[in-house]
Structure 1
Amino acid sequence: MTFWFLLLLGLFTYFIVQRSVAGITRTPVWILWLVLMTPALIWSVWAAIHGPDHPLPIALAIGPFIICPLLYWLLIQWGRRDSSPSAEQTQNQALESKPATETKPEPSNLRPIEPTEEAQLRNCFPWSVYYIHNIEYRPQAVLCRGQLRTKPAVAYQRIRENIEAQFGDRFLVILQEGLDGKPFFALVPNPQARAAGQSQQKLTRPILALGLVLATLFTTTLVGVEFAGGDLQTITSNPAVLFQGLPYALALMTILGIHESGHYIAARFYKIRATLPYFIPIPFFLGTFGAFIQMRSPVPNRKALFDVSLAGPLAGFVATLPLLIWGLAHSTVVPLPAEPRMLDPNALNPNYSLLVALLSKLALGDQLVANRAIDLHPVAIAGFLGLVVTALNLMPVGQLDGGHIVHAMFGQRTGAAIGQIARFLLLGLSLIQPGFLLWAIILFFMPIADQPALNDVTELDNWRDLCGLMALGLLVLIILPVPTAITQLLQI
């Protein structure tokens, strides 16, 4: 009964958010939806763990009602769009265009160029590079269709230079495949041209980023005290109890911070305007909703899309691995409960994840045998959450890092098809591992396609394709239950 209530509530909440704020903020709808659903999820998890006879603590009963609406408002404000058409909106309009054989040019009062400029535009397309057939005018976009006569990267570079020489910085030049499989160019108004005077200091907001770091350090420390078995009620008489929560807080923030810093550094390498990493503090649950950055300029090509998307999970996993192994080595082996729960930090069943089982056996050795669970050290809890964050981000769906990765590897349409398959595979896995059901539901609420790169046609090199397959393999290692043959081999 609780599950169906949550499902209906989640559907209703998602459609309300989608209709009310999706057009005014760049913040992903699924994040806003998750924030609004947090109170119901926390109360449901509490009831599932402690039973309906145990009343909620005051902090859990009232805190989410105060924190979540405020966080929801802040996320909307941080991602608020300008009143002028954004790059994302205009790219979406280009995406929705039909092949030239199925539509006629549409006159519009919002034509981005004047009729007298069409001859100048045609001159930007040399016949030996891209033989242009026709030009279609859409609201806030110009679609140029024709025949590609050289490599996509060469054509894009040459035509972009010609358009910049002729029209300055008025347009973003997009190259992507149409529904007929043929590459076409789209010219959309450049929102950065009007924002050229904006200072880098306003984009990065270091004081805000530092304040959120300190606030999140405090909230994760409070949660860490509970994970360490301390008593928060004694803080006023014994402030030193906070030191018990620092191992968890520092480990978790290191993992999340390095993950987002990987995105940030890669974005800066490709000269993509991006904000500093912002942490999201909450004084309950895990102490934080994670961290995020926002990219404020388009991704130049699929290579950049791949590198920026992979940099975060890769950096976060590299930071997670030593912390998790150290934490597991300092954890305690306990008897497996009669009814084990998937994410119980006091009795974690390592067989729920192939990678966790391998690392647990490596760290604990002969202590870990069959029918045993692990009472996790606070650092191990942070490391385990690092794996969860890595796996969730590597899901090949929509605007998650994994969705960007498969888009960069296979193209936008094939990447969207892979995302649809991944949704159903995770839903099937939730029949074996009920703990994945919430993940599966969240993925079905996410848009299946992400935004195209400016040059969305040029393919990746073989090395990046191999790295992408390895990243998807890491996802499988994290979420795949341990096969029986391996449990017998590891004697767990």
Structure 2
Amino acid sequence: MADWILLALVGSATYLLLQKSVARLSKVPWRILWLVMMMPPLIWVLGRQVFQYEMPPLLMLGLFLASYFTSMTLVRRGRLRPPTAGSQPGAENTSPVAGSDRESLLEAEEEKEDSAADLASATLVHTPISEVPREKLNHCFPWNVFYLQSVEYRPQAIICRGNLRADPTEAYERVQRNVENTFGKRFLVVLQEGFAGKPFFALVPNPAARRSLTRQQEWPLLALGLLLFTFWTTLTAGAQAAGVGPDRLLHLPSLLKGLPYAVGILAILGSHEGIRYWVARRHGIKTSLPYFIPVPFVLGTFGAFIELKEPVPNRKVLFDIAIAGPLAGSLVALAMLLLGLSFSAPGDPPAVPEGQPTPISFHRIDPRLSVLLAILARMVLGDQLQPGQVIDLHPLAFAGWLGLVVIAFNLVPVGQLDGGHIVHAVYGQQMGANVGRVARWLVLLLALTVQPWLLLWALLLFVISSADEPALNDVTELDEGRDLLGLGMLTLLVLILLPVPPFLQSWLALA
């Protein structure tokens, strides 16, 4: 039954993501893409549940690779590329690159430019961009700040190429102020690195200009209702994990046995989203209220989220918003895990067939599952934890551990996850996308070898785009303090997800 539930969740998430993203970027019907991407998990579940056949990891990996490359081929061949019309004289590329090499370079640069234009493509203001006079654009770009060389009029943006002659922050502020004085709120100004690291400006239609007279509605009652419902679902999940039967969930003393787990998991999720909400507001970015996601089974919740309603102005703000949630959530989760471990007790592992890993459950966890968990368990339990033993986790400890796992999932440096935002802010959008492509395969390799409980998340990472949306000023780099903090959070990700290697097991006396 659990396999079918997981398949439904993966299928629903894939369906919604493809419907919102790929459907407007490719001529290939996104339902066909959905079927191609869902083939490996469908075959895996059918094999386990219908034919009682456990598919070998290598065969599963081969099916997954075939599905991935087939879907990527379909997307690229059916990619919708708007024609470039109305190019001004002098826009031609005079680089000494010929033939197919030149075409490949131009295609790479167009993809970068299209990512900038995608900021407003979902709510495009339908105005004739091609009628914007070149003379007005010239006044927006002082020659001593950004020497404008060429202008390209596209359906979704005006691409302005030239030479950057000032500090990126100063140049962006000058150009943005000039554009606002000339065109009002009609355009958002994007400064992004193009091919070979050469910055360019893009003027995209401002979605706020279209809805300036309509006030976006908040839903405080909905947010409160979801919070209360999530409290109920996590309370029942915690009670069941404590051994309360389904027929006793309406008995208040029995139900309250799940209170440590419910309070713990809501505190972690609430601190994660609450601090992100506060940081975004402090930087002047409009955002939705935090919304919790209740589910009436297993863990009781699928987390919480907020939605940014405005573009991020620069990479520093992007970093601050991305790092705030995992940093606050991990501190709360670590405190709960340490406190909960003091109420936990070591025990003998359950009997399992030889060669099989110790199963993961609410009650008993092998400390060798995670480097961080092993170190904290040895710190708190000391000599009570003998080699080969598992830990019977207190509900508060399990809530802390689960919170760290969820934070680790969100720190994977892929696309619009917090980890993807952090890598983008530290290294730039293009490097962040490359890191995301590699990270997906590393997590999948980890899941197929030593951490099978990561398989579902590893598959979901391939549904998420590896490229993050650019900030408005996507060129100005971070300071050293933010760089170090970002690397520290990525180190936390590794410590949570990696199992304890043999040499460290001996040092910690776990084997």
Residues 8 and 342 of structure 1: CA distance in aligned 2, closer, same or farther (over 3 Å): closer
Which residue, out of 458, 471, 489, partners 2:476? 458
Q: Which residue of 1 aligns with 2:19?
A: 20
| Structure-to-structure mapping, 1:130-141, within 5 angstroms | 130-141=146-157
Q: Which residue of 2 aligns with 1:205?
A: 219
Q: Write out per-residue CA displacement over residues 42-93 of structure 1, whole angstroms, 9 at most, x where no aligned residue.
A: x97xx89xxx8xxxxxxxxxxxxxxxxxxxxxxxxxxxxxxxxxxxxxxx99
Task: Specify the SS of the correspondent of 2:257.
Answer: helix
The aligned length equals 428
Q: Which residue of 1 aligns with 2:388?
A: 371
Q: Output the CA distance in 2 between the equivalents of 1:377 and 1:116.
A: 65
Q: Output the CA distance in 1 between the equivalents of 2:293 and 2:83.
A: 32
CA contact (8 A) 1:110 1:140 kept: no
Q: Which residue of 1 aligns with 2:455?
A: 437
Task: Specify the SS of the correspondent of 1:123.
Answer: helix
Q: Which residue of 2 aligns with 1:387?
A: 404
Q: Which residue of 2 aligns with 1:157?
A: 173
Q: Output the CA distance in 1 between the equivalents of 2:256 and 2:345.
A: 21
Task: Specify the SS of the correspondent of 2:483.
Answer: helix
CA contact (8 A) 1:112 1:188 kept: no
> What is the Cα-based RMSD across aligned positions, in Å?
3.4
Q: Which amino acid aligns with 1:20?
A: Q
Q: Which residue of 1 aligns with 2:274?
A: 261
Q: Which residue of 1 aligns with 2:373?
A: 356
Which residue, out of 252, 259, 269, partners 1:246? 259
Q: Output the CA distance in 1 between the equivalents of 2:305 and 2:23.
A: 19
Percent identity reads: 49
Q: Output the CA distance in 2 between the equivalents of 1:323 and 1:93.
A: 56
Q: Which residue of 1 aligns with 2:509?
A: 491
Q: Which amino acid aligns with 2:138?
A: R
Whether 2:492 is the aligned partner of 1:474: answer yes
CA contact (8 A) 1:110 1:139 kept: no
Q: Which amino acid aligns with 1:251?
A: G
CA contact (8 A) 2:194 2:200 kept: yes
Q: Output the CA distance in 2 between the equivalents of 1:156 and 1:353.
A: 45
Q: How far 1:424 sits from its partner (Å)?
A: 1.7
Q: Write out per-residue CA displacement over residues 438-481 of structure 1, whole angstroms, 9 at most, x where no aligned residue.
A: 22211122111010000001111111111111111111111111
Which residue, out of 213, 232, 254, partners 2:246? 232
Q: Output the CA distance in 1 between the equivalents of 2:184 and 2:457.
A: 46
Q: How far 1:385 sits from its partner (Å)?
A: 0.7
Q: Write out per-residue CA displacement over residues 282-339 of structure 1, whole angstroms, 9 at most, x where no aligned residue.
A: 1111111110000010000000111100001001001101111111111121102343
CA contact (8 A) 1:349 1:372 kept: yes
Q: Output the CA distance in 1 between the equivalents of 2:149 and 2:420.
A: 33
Q: Which residue of 2 aligns with 1:58?
A: none
Whether 2:312 is the aligned partner of 1:333: answer no
Q: Which residue of 1 aligns with 2:235?
A: 221
Q: Output the CA distance in 1 between the equivalents of 2:234 and 2:156.
A: 46
Whether 2:311 is the aligned partner of 1:298: answer yes
Q: Which amino acid aligns with 1:255?
A: I
Residues 9 and 294 of structure 1: CA distance in aligned 2, closer, same or farther (over 3 Å): closer
Q: Write out per-residue CA displacement over residues 3-37 of structure 1, whole angstroms, 9 at most, x where no aligned residue.
A: 9x999989976765455344799xxx9xxx9xxx9
Q: How far 1:419 sits from its partner (Å)?
A: 0.9
Q: Output the CA distance in 2 between the equivalents of 1:9 and 1:251.
A: 28
Q: Output the CA distance in 2 between the equivalents of 1:144 and 1:346.
A: 59
| Structure-to-structure mapping, 1:36-435, within 5 angstroms | 101=93, 112-113=128-129, 115=131, 117-199=133-215, 202=217, 204-236=218-250, 238-339=251-352, 340-430=357-447, 431-435=449-453
Q: Write out per-residue CA displacement over residues 103-156 of structure 1, whole angstroms, 9 at most, x where no aligned residue.
A: 799xxx966446363211211100000000111100031111111011111100
Q: Output the CA distance in 2 between the equivalents of 1:337 and 1:100.
A: 70
CA contact (8 A) 1:347 1:373 kept: yes
Task: Specify the SS of the correspondent of 2:197.
Answer: coil
Q: Output the CA distance in 1 between the equivalents of 2:343 and 2:10.
A: 42
Q: How far 1:381 sits from its partner (Å)?
A: 1.2
Residues 116 and 351 of structure 1: CA distance in aligned 2, closer, same or farther (over 3 Å): closer
Q: How far 1:227 sits from its partner (Å)?
A: 1.1
Whether 2:462 is the aligned partner of 1:448: answer no
Q: Output the CA distance in 2 between the equivalents of 1:399 and 1:15.
A: 15
Q: Output the CA distance in 2 between the equivalents of 1:199 and 1:154.
A: 32
CA contact (8 A) 1:409 1:459 kept: yes
Gap runs ≥5 in structure 1: 53-91
Q: Which amino acid aligns with 1:344?
A: S
Task: Specify the SS of the correspondent of 2:423.
Answer: helix
Q: Which amino acid aligns with 1:374?
A: I
Task: Specify the SS of the correspondent of 1:169.
Answer: coil
Q: Which moved more, 1:288-297 or 1:328-337?
A: 328-337
Q: Output the CA distance in 2 between the equivalents of 1:19 and 1:473.
A: 31
CA contact (8 A) 2:236 2:249 kept: no
Residues 261 and 10 of structure 1: CA distance in aligned 2, closer, same or farther (over 3 Å): closer
Q: Output the CA distance in 1 between the equivalents of 2:386 and 2:253.
A: 37
Q: Output the CA distance in 2 between the equivalents of 1:7 and 1:205.
A: 30
* TM value normalised by structure 2: 0.77
Q: Write out per-residue CA displacement over residues 260-295 of structure 1, whole angstroms, 9 at most, x where no aligned residue.
A: 112111111111111111001111111111100000
CA contact (8 A) 2:239 2:249 kept: no
Gap runs ≥5 in structure 2: 25-29, 53-81, 94-102, 111-124
CA contact (8 A) 1:111 1:140 kept: no
Q: How far 1:100 sits from its partner (Å)?
A: 5.6
Q: Output the CA distance in 1 between the equivalents of 2:210 and 2:126.
A: 18
Q: Output the CA distance in 2 between the equivalents of 1:451 and 1:154.
A: 22
